[in-house]
Amino acid sequence: MHLFIKNMVCDRCIMVVKEQLHAVGIEFKKVQLGEVELSQPASDEQIEKLGANLFPLGFELLDDKKAAVVTQIKSTIIKLIHNYENEEVNQKLSVILSQKLGKDYHFLSILFSSVEGTTIEKFVILQRIERAKELLMYDEMTINEIADTLGYSSVQHLSQQFKKITGLTPTHFKKLKENKRKPLDQV
Amino acid sequence: MQHEAQLFIKGMVCQRCITVVNSELQQLGLIPVKTSLGQVTVITTVQMPEIRVIEEKLEPLGFKLLEDKKIRVVKEIKRLVATVYSGEYEFPDHFRFSDLITEAFHKDYDKISALFSLVEHQTLEKYIIDYRIEKIKELLVYTSLTLLDIAIKLNYSSVAHLSRQFKQVTGLTPSYFKEVKKAKTILELSTNLS
């Protein structure tokens, strides 16, 4: 049995979800971003309690099939862009998504748009810009290197897209004292 | 006494990260007053724990502490000084440290030097002189190199130049320094033996 949880974006989220599973006594095999694999079916009561516990932490337990698929799509994209798995990716995103979810990309794309009101492509761009913000703040790489890491063809391309989304140039963003980053689940 | 510090943390991406970081810091006796993604302001009434302690606390959770860029640059400068004046460095003709700096950092020497003074409260030139003098002391005591050899190894134009600088910084001539050290070592040896 699988549970689908919305808004998980990093290893700490996994840690927190695991704690909550323990707290309500649900046994699990594996917890991934957005998805929990249970070792044995949990009772309705337990699941309801888990949902109630997760909500104040900013998570949401999903019972809707569509929403579950959307969450899986988002988790896959977040893992790719924020480089949690450290593997070189040369494939197109559409191929990766349809392979991971076992469904046609066209189907996924329409489903995503109908639930989220925005396209997968747009979501990818937003995530990438958020990653760019993170890397800019660390001040360890030049803009050139960041563009390269994130797979932009050139610095201009990154700058243009960055400005379009945030209204600021990367250089200007770097100079801002106030923190302008968003939590990944609110992108 | 209340201490305040800014921590820059790498790897924070969501609300849960903020919660986790806050609770870890509290375990160290630090009170987070303002936590945003990547940046925490903490206060504490007790002694600030060492950076290493905070690092060890956060690392298992997948976070990393970011060093301030200025401090990072200063560390690199010091490393460069250590390599050049290690005694093993092959000095090219017309060697200038400033050329080496501009080459390594791709920035004007003025800027780098200003940054060094800002962080260290000592000019880079003075730091280099002190470093070379310490090296001379080391070579005088632990090796049998002559002053001429040492002058060449550390890129002084002449023995006179070396001696003058040594006296200026330490107040002693190199040879006097060597004799005093030797006498001291012998004295220590004989007291140890008797």
Tens digits of residue pLDDT in A107-156: 999 999 988 888 999 999 999 999 999 888 888 888 998 998 888 889 99
Task: Report the C-alpha gap between B21 and B77 in whole angstroms.
Answer: 32
Residues in chain A: 187
The predicted complex's ipTM stands at 0.74
Q: Which two tokens stand for residue A157?
A: 């391309």
CB contact under 8 A, B16 and A139: no
pLDDT value at residue A130:
92
- Measure the CA dihedral A90/A92/A95/A100, to 10°: 60
In sequence order, which residues have a C-beta less than 8 Å from that of residue B46 and are 6 or more positions away?
B29
Round to whole Å and give the CA distance between B42 and B30. Answer: 6
Residues of B whose CB is below 8 A from A139:
66, 69
- Reported residue count of chain B is 194
Residues B185 and B141: their CA atoms lie apart, in Å, by: 10
Q: What is the pLDDT of residue A125?
A: 93
Whole-number pLDDT of residue B1: 65
The pLDDT of residue A89: 63
CA distance B98 to chain A (A): 23
Look up the pTM and report it: 0.67
Q: How high is the pLDDT of residue B135?
A: 92
Contact at 8 Å (CB) between B73 and B115?
Answer: yes
Output the pLDDT for position A84.
67
Interface touch B38/A181, C-beta < 8 Å: yes
Contact residues, chain B, for A175 at CB < 8 Å: none
What CA–CA distances, in Å, run from B58 to A32, B13, B20, B64? 21, 14, 9, 7
Interchain contact A137–B (C-beta under 8 A)? yes
Q: What are the chain A neighbours of B36 within 8 Å (beta carbons)?
A: 179, 181
Q: What pLDDT, on the 0 to 100 scale, is given for residue B106? A: 85
Q: What is the mean pLDDT of chain A?
A: 87
- Whole-number Cα distances in Å, B37 to A36, A137, A178: 26, 10, 11
Place of tokens 């988002």: A74
pLDDT in tens, chain B (194 residues): 677 888 888 888 888 899 899 998 888 888 898 888 888 888 887 777 777 888 888 888 888 888 777 888 888 899 999 999 988 888 888 888 888 888 888 888 888 888 888 888 889 999 999 999 999 998 888 888 889 999 999 999 999 999 999 998 888 888 888 888 777 777 777 776 65
Tally C-beta pairs within 8 A across A and B: 59
* Mutation for B interface: A8, A9, A12, most B CBs within 10 A: A12
- Residue A18 has a pLDDT of 92
In contact, A173 and A133? CB cutoff 8 Å: yes
pLDDT of residue B162: 92
* Helix extents (H) in B9-158: 15-27, 51-58, 69-84, 97-105, 109-120, 124-142, 147-153
Judge whether A9 is closer than 8 Å to chain B, CB to CB.
yes
CA B27 from centroid of its chain's CA atoms:
31
Looking up tokens 């220590």 gives B188
pLDDT of residue B193: 64
CB neighbours of B62 closer than 8 A, spacing ≥ 6? A10, A11, A12, B11
Residue stretches of chain A with pLDDT short of 70: 84-90, 177-179
